[in-house]
A and B are shown apart, each in its own frame.
Chain A
Amino acid sequence: MTEKTDVVIIGAGPVGLFAVFELGLLNIKCHLVDNLDKVGGQCAELYPEKPIYDIPSRPVVTGQELTDDLIKQINPFKPKFHLNQQVEKIAKTEYGWIVETNIGTKVEAKCIVVAAGAGSFVPRKLPIENIENFENKNVFYAIRDKSIFKNKKILIAGGGDSALDWTNELSKDSNVTLIHRRKEFRAAPDSVSKMQELETKGKIKFLKGQIKKISKIQDSRIMLEYENDDEKSNIEVDYLLPFFGLKMELGPIAEWGLNLHENLIKVDTEKFETSTTSIFAIGDINWYPGKLKLILSGFHESALMAQEVFKYCFPDKKNIFRYTTSSKELQKKLGV
Chain B
Amino acid sequence: MPKLIIKDRSGKKSEIEYDSNFTLMETLRDNGYDIEASCGGCCACSTCHVYIDKKWKNKLQNMDDDEESMLDQAFDVKNNSRLSCQIDLSEELDGLEIEIAPE
On A, residues with C-beta under 8 Å from B are 42, 46-47, 50, 118, 124, 126-127, 158-160, 180-182, 184-186, 210, 244-245, 247-248, 293
B39 touches A47 (CB 8 A): yes
Nearest first, the 10 A-B pairs at minimum CB distance are: A186-B69, A245-B73, A46-B44, A159-B72, A47-B44, A244-B73, A46-B39, A50-B42, A127-B75, A181-B77
The smallest beta-carbon distance between A38 and chain B, in angstroms, is 16
B27 contacts the other chain (CB 8 A): no
The smallest beta-carbon distance between B63 and chain A, in angstroms, is 12
Distance A20 CA – B16 CA, assembled complex (angstroms): 45
Distance A127 CA – B46 CA, assembled complex (angstroms): 14
The smallest beta-carbon distance between A36 and chain B, in angstroms, is 14
The smallest beta-carbon distance between A124 and chain B, in angstroms, is 7
Distance A310 CA – B69 CA, assembled complex (angstroms): 46
B45 contacts the other chain (CB 8 A): yes
The smallest beta-carbon distance between A101 and chain B, in angstroms, is 24
- Given A46-B44, A50-B42, A247-B38, 6 further pairs, Cβ under 8 A: A50-B44, A126-B75, A127-B75, A159-B72, A186-B72, A245-B45
Q: Residues of B contacting A247 with CB < 8 Å?
A: 38, 45, 47
- The residue in chain A whose Cβ has the minimal distance to the Cβ of B47 is A247
Distance A247 CA – B46 CA, assembled complex (angstroms): 10
Distance A42 CA – B47 CA, assembled complex (angstroms): 15
List which B51-72 residues lie within 8 A (CB) of chain A: 68-69, 71-72
Q: Residues of B contacting A47 with CB < 8 Å?
A: 39, 42, 44
- The residue in chain A whose Cβ has the minimal distance to the Cβ of B76 is A210
A210 touches B103 (CB 8 A): no
Q: Residues of B contacting A248 with CB < 8 Å?
A: 38
Distance A184 CA – B38 CA, assembled complex (angstroms): 25
Distance A184 CA – B74 CA, assembled complex (angstroms): 15
Q: Which of A160, A182, A245 has the most CB of B within 10 A?
A: A245
B102 contacts the other chain (CB 8 A): yes
List which B16-48 residues lie within 8 A (CB) of chain A: 38-40, 42, 44-47
B38 touches A244 (CB 8 A): no
A42 touches B75 (CB 8 A): no
- The residue in chain B whose Cβ has the minimal distance to the Cβ of A117 is B38
The smallest beta-carbon distance between A49 and chain B, in angstroms, is 9
The smallest beta-carbon distance between A121 and chain B, in angstroms, is 10
The smallest beta-carbon distance between B87 and chain A, in angstroms, is 18
A210 touches B75 (CB 8 A): yes
